[in-house]
């Protein structure tokens, strides 16, 4: 049996689309569990109009806790995590069931977000395409990340490794931390047939989210000493961010000093080479103008990420998680 677990917080506007898409794709042996984290809108009322189990938490604890509560209440042996701001595309739930039938020894699998986001705009489109291309194509379809917006895991395995770390109160890096523990004992596989459409951030939200998550990811890296082979935290993106930041810092000197100019050009070349895979993908699928704009956006976000990384290094000795 598949138990679909969805944590919600003020997600009423997404509920009809998400739940309609789930029940349009329903299979014979499944249940849907909504764990509401003290929403102040009509999320619960809307959810209860569908044949789902709704658990209302008495105190806001964050998505990590909400997912754990949902798993504890689940009857299924397979847990399929979804975020509240997605739509399930045709055949996805059936593919989760089929994947574990084809691969009985597999413990967990993640899907992908469609390159067309739920919301309109250049930045959401860029982020959807950027995430997609950084997940597909890994060796043996093994990835080092686990995405709860569209990821399935066997219940007994999830509980045996300790579930989500509930000290993460927001949508932070609890998924990366869980993935570290999964990878110590098993593999995370990618199935491109498991697919959702996701609501991605606008520019202001992206800058804020990248900064916050970059700080937490750096702290997690200091503790675990592990890099990712897929997703936005893959090494190529780190190299691109470093080159963007250093070239930006050199820009005032490049105008007057020939050495600084050559170093600036060298850093830009490394930046471009690090991004060539996703850039070619966007150029082919979205056009040259879009891909050029995407490079400028990636450059700015790279500076944002490096500022976050520097801040993370400075505060790491004083971080509660670093101490514990």
Statement: residue 157 has pLDDT above 50: yes
Q: Determine, yes or no, domain membership for 215.
A: no
Question: pTM of this prediction?
Answer: 0.93
308 and 189 share one domain: no
Short-list 78, 98, 92, 53, CA closest to 3: 78
What's the pLDDT score for residue 320?
59
Compute the average pLDDT of residues 28-33. Answer: 96
Paired tokens of 47: 């959810």
pLDDT for the residue 3: 98
Rounded-to-integer distance, Cα 175 and Cα 282, Å: 27
- Is the pLDDT reported for residue 260 higher than 80? yes
322 pLDDT band, cuts 50/70/90, is: very low
* Listed range (70-74, 228-232, 267-271) with the worst mean pLDDT: 228-232
Does 248 lie in the same domain as 175?
no
Question: Binning pLDDT at 50, 70 and 90, where does residue 69 land?
Answer: very high
CATH of the domain at 31: 3.90.550.10
Count Cβ atoms within 10 A of the Cβ of residue 104 and give its class: 0-12 exposed, 13-18 middle, 19 or more buried: exposed
Per-residue model confidence (pLDDT) at position 181: 93
Q: Compare 313 and 147 and report the one with higher pLDDT.
A: 313
Q: What is the mean pLDDT of residues 156-177?
A: 90
Number of domains forming the structure of the chain = 2
Kindly state whether residue 135 falls inside one of the protein's structural domains.
Answer: no
Q: Does residue 112 sit in the same domain as residue 245?
A: no
- Do 178 and 291 reside in the same domain of the chain? no
Nearest alpha carbon to residue 113 among 141, 96, 143, 133 = 133
- Beta-bridge partner residues of 53: 33
CA-to-CA distance for 84 and 86, rounded, in angstroms?
6
Which pLDDT value is given to residue 229? 80
Does residue 269 belong to any structural domain of this protein?
yes
What's the mean pLDDT in 193-206?
A: 96
Averaged pLDDT of the chain: 93
Q: What range defines the domain where residue 287 resides?
A: 235-323
């Amino acid at each position: 049996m598949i138990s679909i677990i969805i944590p919600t917080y003020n997600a009423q506007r997404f509920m009809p689309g998400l739940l309609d898409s789930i029940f349009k794709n329903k299979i014979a042996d499944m249940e849907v569990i909504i764990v509401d984290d003290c929403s102040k809108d009509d999320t619960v009322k809307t959810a209860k109009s569908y044949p789902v189990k709704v658990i209302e938490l008495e105190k806001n604890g964050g998505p990590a806790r909400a997912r754990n509560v949902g798993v504890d209440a689940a009857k299924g042996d397979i847990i399929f995590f979804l975020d509240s701001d997605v739509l399930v595309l045709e055949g996805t739930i059936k593919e989760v069931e089929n994947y574990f039938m084809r691969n009985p020894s597999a413990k967990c699998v993640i899907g992908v977000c469609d390159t067309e986001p739920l919301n309109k705009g250049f930045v959401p489109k860029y982020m959807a395409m950027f995430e997609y291309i950084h997940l597909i194509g890994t060796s043996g379809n093994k990835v080092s990340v686990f995405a709860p917006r569209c990821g399935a895991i066997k219940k007994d395995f999830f509980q045996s490794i300790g579930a989500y770390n509930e000290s993460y109160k927001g949508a932070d890096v609890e998924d990366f931390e869980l993935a570290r523990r999964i990878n110590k004992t098993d593999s995370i596989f990618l199935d491109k047939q498991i697919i959702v459409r996701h609501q991605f951030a606008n520019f202001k939200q992206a800058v804020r989210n990248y900064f916050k998550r970059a700080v937490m990811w750096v702290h997690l890296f200091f503790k675990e000493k592990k890099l990712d082979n897929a997703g936005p935290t893959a090494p190529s993106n780190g190299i691109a961010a470093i080159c963007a930041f250093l070239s930006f810092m050199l820009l005032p000197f490049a105008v007057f000093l020939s050495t600084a100019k050559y170093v600036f050009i060298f850093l830009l070349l490394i930046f471009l080479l690090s991004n060539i895979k996703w850039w070619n993908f966007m150029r082919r699928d979205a056009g040259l103008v879009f891909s050029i704009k995407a490079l400028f956006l990636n450059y700015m976000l790279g500076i944002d990420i490096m500022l976050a990384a520097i801040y993370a290094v400075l505060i790491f000795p004083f971080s509660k998680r670093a101490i514990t």
